[in-house]
């Protein structure tokens, strides 16, 4: 059986297979518990959209085989918001999940047009199905970063990729010390011991020494 360009917009499990083979491609599956469950048989799941899903994208038992790739997922359960250190205590938001499971977590709200077209008529309230941190639009344009607690740090001196390689590492008492923090004077960065833990300093040394008799 083949499902191509199919929309299943309200279900507990969108597709359940108990034998044989099914190919699911270019479809949109909105389900509460599982996207696809395979008790027996083989399901090939490619280039689909999956939304909601509180347990797992795919469920398979011993006699089931799932081949999945290129799928996109909107789900706060499967794709929780986290923060990944990039430079010192400067973090970037990440939506983890999907690694090795044939899907990628989306980092923007579920399109309202899809919801209007199908789910609204079924009495389903709109849900962005993703957690977006504050000031994320500003972050995406290249300004600022987040600290280890997910608080946005507005910074205009460093734009784009420069924010991940220039300036103080931004030590914060509430965050773990970054690796090699305060590594020394030769290009290293160190915060003032009198800082409030939130300040960001640039300290550069350009000194020459001469010795003579």
Q: How confident is the model at residue 13 (pLDDT cuts 50, 70, 90)?
A: very high
CA 143 – CA 159 distance, rounded (Å): 5
Residues 6 or more apart from 122 whose CB is under 8 A from it?
Answer: 9, 10
Q: What percent of the chain has pLDDT over 90?
A: 62
Residue 173 lies in a domain: yes
Residues 62 and 132 in one domain: no
Residue 141 has a CB neighbour count (10 Å cut-off) of 10
Q: Domain check: are 149 and 171 in the same one?
A: no
pLDDT value for 172: 63
Q: Are residues 107 and 147 in the same domain?
A: yes
pLDDT grade, residue 168 (50/70/90)?
low
142 and 202 fall within a common domain: no
Cα–Cα distance, 21 to 38 (Å, whole number): 10
Residues 21 and 58 in one domain: yes
Whether the per-residue pLDDT at 212 is higher than 60: the answer is no
State the pLDDT at residue 209.
Answer: 37
Residue 180 has pLDDT above 80, yes or no: no
Q: Is residue 51 part of a domain?
A: yes
Is 147 in the same domain as 180?
Answer: no
Please give the residue range of the domain that contains residue 35. Answer: 2-69
Q: What is the pLDDT of residue 46?
A: 97
> What mean pLDDT comes out for the span 66-93?
93
| Residue 93 is assigned to a structural domain of this protein | yes
How far is 182 from 191, CA to CA, in rounded Å?
8
- Write out the chain in H/E/C secondary structure: CEEECCEEEEEEEEEEEEEEEEEEECCEEEEEEEEEEEEEEEEEEECCEEEECCCEEEEEEEEEEEEEECEEEECCCCCCEEEEEEECCEEEEEECCCCCCCEEECCCCCCHHHHHHHHHHHCCCCCCCCCCCCCHHHHHCCECEECCCCCEECCCCCEHHHHHCCCCCCCCCCCCCCCCCCCCCCCCCCCCCCCCCCCCCCCCCCCCCCCCC
Query: What distance in Å separates the CA atoms of residue 40 and residue 65, rounded to the nearest whole number?
Result: 7
- Whether residues 41 and 85 share a domain: the answer is no
Are residues 171 and 155 part of one domain? no
* Residue 119 covered by a domain: no
Asked if residue 201 has pLDDT above 90, the reply is no
91 and 129: one domain?
yes
Residue 75 lies in a domain: no
Are residue 172 and residue 106 in the same domain, yes or no?
no
pLDDT tens string 91-127:
999 998 777 899 999 999 999 999 999 999 888 899 9
74 within a domain of the structure (yes/no)? no
Note the pLDDT tens digit of each residue in 127-136. 999 999 999 9
Residue 104: inside a domain, yes or no? yes
- Whether 76 is covered by a domain: the verdict is no
d(CA 4, CA 45): 10
Q: Tell me how many domains the chain contains.
A: 3
């Amino acid at each position: 059986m083949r499902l191509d360009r199919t929309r299943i917009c309200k279900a507990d499990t969108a597709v359940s297979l108990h034998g044989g083979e099914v190919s699911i491609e270019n479809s949109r599956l909105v389900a509460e518990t599982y996207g696809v469950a395979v008790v027996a048989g083989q399901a090939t799941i490619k280039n689909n959209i999956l939304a909601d899903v509180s347990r797992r994208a795919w469920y398979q038992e011993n006699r089931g085989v799932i081949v999945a790739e290129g799928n996109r997922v909107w789900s706060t359960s499967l794709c929780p918001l986290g923060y990944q250190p990039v430079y010192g205590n400067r973090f970037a938001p990440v939506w983890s999940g999907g690694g090795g499971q044939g899907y990628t977590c989306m980092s923007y709200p579920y399109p309202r047009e899809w919801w209007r077209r199908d789910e609204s008529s079924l009495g389903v309230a709109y849900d962005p199905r993703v957690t977006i941190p504050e000031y994320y639009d500003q972050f995406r344009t290249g300004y600022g970063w987040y600290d280890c607690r997910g608080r946005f740090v507005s910074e205009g001196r460093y734009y784009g990729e420069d924010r991940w390689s220039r300036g103080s590492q931004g030590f914060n008492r509430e965050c773990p010390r970054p690796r090699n923090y305060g590594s020394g004077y030769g290009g290293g960065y160190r915060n003032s011991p009198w800082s409030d833990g939130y300040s960001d300093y640039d300290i550069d040394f350009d000194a020459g020494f001469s010795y003579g008799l």
